[in-house]
A and B are shown apart, each in its own frame.
Chain A
Amino acid sequence: MFEKRWDASDPMFEIQSRLRRDDFDLNVEIRAPSTGVLALFGRSGSGKTTLVQVVAGLLKSEQSKIVIDGSVLEDTQRRQFVPPEHRRIGYVFQDARLFPHLSVAGNLQFGMRRSRATPPANLWDQVLELLGLQNLLNRRVQQLSGGERQRVALGRALLMQPRLLIMDEPLASIDAARRNEVLPYLERLRDEFALPIVYVSHDFDEVLRLADHVVLLDQGKVLAQGDIGSMSLEPQLRQIVGSDAVGAVLNGEVESVSSDGLAVVRVGRAHLSVNKPQVQTGTRVRVQLLARDLILAVEPPRGLSVRNVIEGRVIDVSRDDDETDLVRVDIGNAAVMARVTRAASLELKLSPGLPIWVLVKAVSMRAHTFAASDSSKK
């Protein structure tokens, strides 16, 4: 209903691969727009890394077809296989894989020197500036911290002017405290380079912050795929992230910011008050409403401290577990999901089409800014 539609002329990403290993079978078919960030999400061992290695050409499948924007990278039926060195796919490995015998500058230039396209004059400066690498150039790679290593690896991949950038859990080898040093760089990268990105992660928060399109993998198979909005309502997601972490992800725009730190975000025809200081009017933001934080009312509520009351209609009700239900609610151009107890669900007689009011506490929203117009970050 609110899922983005695209036609054949749009840039597309088509991955189809069947691969059998001793203890693991991969069998996937993915179609996604090749603009923005495609997240491969799943538990460790679900086949995410195997899949991106196939896309990069580092692993051969028994049967596969990989097409990016009309150019065929491999097609087992037609016996086509472009070797990895000719695919122009930038690959940021989980463990960075910087060349220990080269300096930071030598690493950065490795792919750039081998690229056939002449780089735009300012690419070098642009990448160095984007990733904050200017002061690291003469360092030996052994002297870098985990976060710096990943930034160099990312710069190295960007400087080869890839047609696609693969990032395989770039934050996984960095300790949690340092992750926030790297995440803003990734967000800037997404916003400033018009480069399709495949982002592998087992951390749903990262996916929320970065992804436009999500593929949910489990045991080598695709459980579900779609844009971040519809995927956030996908019941299958609950199995992976747990029912406390599921909830609608909504794209909105900041309409006004009050002095007390509350921003009013317009989502569809609803308005939400979000506790998000330091955001500018007009910024596009992404808001996640956790299903466990939503309250449903069958009548317009009055006299509550809750800031956000959204009017909508029930789309459907599905079982969450033995005692709770997940209720999806259409709020006009968007949908949210609420978790209610089975008893409440029965008592309120929740059923598709029922008019309903959704109550959200302002503080319960997590907003991620994601627009190029946001210049508040260094």
Chain B
Amino acid sequence: MFHLAPAELDALLLSLRIALKSVLFSLPVAILVAWWVTRGRGLIRFLLDAFVHLPLVLPPVAVGYVLLIVFGVRGPLGRWLYEQFGVRLVFSASGAALATAVMTFPLFVRAIRISLEGVDRGLEDAARTLGAGPWDRFFNVTLPLMLPGILAGAVTAFAAGLGEFGAVITFVSNIPGETRTLPLALYTALQSPDGDAMAARLATMSFVLGLGGLVIAELIARNVRKTLGRV
């Protein structure tokens, strides 16, 4: 009934892998940035906040282009990565994960930020009087209390990452088995004269995955909120 061609299955698995990688890599950075944007003050905080939200308002192609310039083999960071570690991001699955991470970053940070704003500073004060230093407080009080937002943010970022198109195709092109994720495969199918059935299947898959991701994110948030409760 719903039979996937090998190419379609490849695209699906690749999408899942790239989205997962992007979430795992951006997780610590997103927490750090959310912390800074919430608790920091002054101009740096303001600029960082604006910068983080840029991918929301820029054309994805422009983001891909900037990545190409910075992380291309001749770009400042790209060259360094290639010469020092032999890592090439352009035209690779890792590069796709990077582009996905950048595009989903605002969503991720926003979710974490909301949960951090909800953390009662009074509990951190209480931990302080009980002898907990800054790192101790962060890892044993603040972070556990932020968990609902972090999990929900991660699932949302994952679901959104499955569908990232513009930045990915610009930065890492459309290589079957390497960077051809679901949306890229869908685009390719639409370009070919007999790809209608394939396109329909891929679109359905994207739809189901996206919806599933959102539902799971909400369920996690709700569940953790319930167990943590408000005291």
Contact = CB atoms under 8 A, between A and B. Distances in A.
B196 interface: no
B125 A96 contact: no
A85 B129 contact: yes
Contact of A58 (B129, B136, B144, B230): B129
The interface size bin for chain A is 20 to 34
A87 B133 CA distance: 12
Contacts of A156: 130
Contact of A99 (B123, B129, B230): B123
B126 A97 contact: yes
A85 B228 CA distance: 25
A58 B127 contact: no
B145 interface: yes
A93 interface: yes
A111 interface: yes
A320 B2 CA distance: 92
Nearest to A160: B130
Interface string A68-92: 0000000000000001111111110
Contacts of B120: 97
Interface in A96-122: 96-101, 110-111, 114-115
Contact of A101 (B126, B130, B145): B145
Interface in B116-170: 120, 122-123, 125-133, 136, 141, 144-145, 147
B133 A85 contact: yes
B197 interface: no
A85 B128 contact: yes
Interface in B26-85: none
B229 interface: yes
B1 interface: no
A111 B130 contact: yes
Residue from B120, B128, B133, B229 whose CB has the most chain A CB atoms within 10 Å: B128
B5 interface: no
B131 A100 contact: no
A84 B228 contact: no
A110 B147 CA distance: 19
Contacts of A111: 129-131
B208 interface: no
Contacts of B229: 100, 140, 142
B130 A114 contact: yes
Interface residues of B, number: 21
A84 B145 CA distance: 22
A114 B131 contact: yes
Given A101-B228, A114-B136, A142-B229, A95 B129 contact: no
A141 interface: yes
A104 to B, nearest CB: 11
A97 B130 contact: no
Nearest to B129: A91
A98 B231 contact: yes
B97 to A, nearest CB: 31
A99 B131 contact: no
Nearest to A149: B231
Contacts of A142: 229, 231
A7 to B, nearest CB: 31
A111 B147 CA distance: 22
Contacts of A89: 129
Contact of B231 (A58, A86, A100): A100
Contacts of B128: 58, 83-85
A228 interface: no
A56 B141 CA distance: 19
Contact of A100 (B127, B129, B130, B228): B228
Contacts of B129: 56, 58, 84-85, 87, 89-91, 111, 157
Residue from A93, A101, A140, A141 whose CB has the most chain B CB atoms within 10 Å: A101
A115 B131 CA distance: 7
A114 B132 contact: yes
B141 A99 contact: yes
Contacts of A88: 131
Given A100-B229, A100-B231, A160 B131 contact: yes
A38 B136 CA distance: 32
A100 B126 contact: no
Residue from B126, B144, B231 whose CB has the most chain A CB atoms within 10 Å: B126
A114 B125 CA distance: 15
Nearest to B145: A101
B77 to A, nearest CB: 39
A58 B132 contact: no
A88 B128 CA distance: 10
A93 B126 contact: yes
Contacts of B147: 101
Contacts of A157: 129-130
Interface in A24-78: 56, 58
B205 to A, nearest CB: 37
Considering the complex of A and B, which 4 residue pairs feature the smallest CB-CB distances, nearest first?
A111-B130, A114-B131, A97-B126, A91-B129
11 contacts: A56-B129, A58-B128, A85-B129, A95-B122, A97-B125, A99-B141, A100-B145, A100-B230, A111-B129, A115-B131, A157-B129
Given A58-B129, A100-B145, A101-B228, 19 more contacts: A56-B129, A84-B125, A85-B132, A87-B129, A88-B131, A90-B129, A91-B129, A95-B122, A97-B120, A97-B126, A99-B126, A99-B127, A100-B123, A100-B230, A101-B144, A101-B147, A110-B127, A156-B130, A157-B129
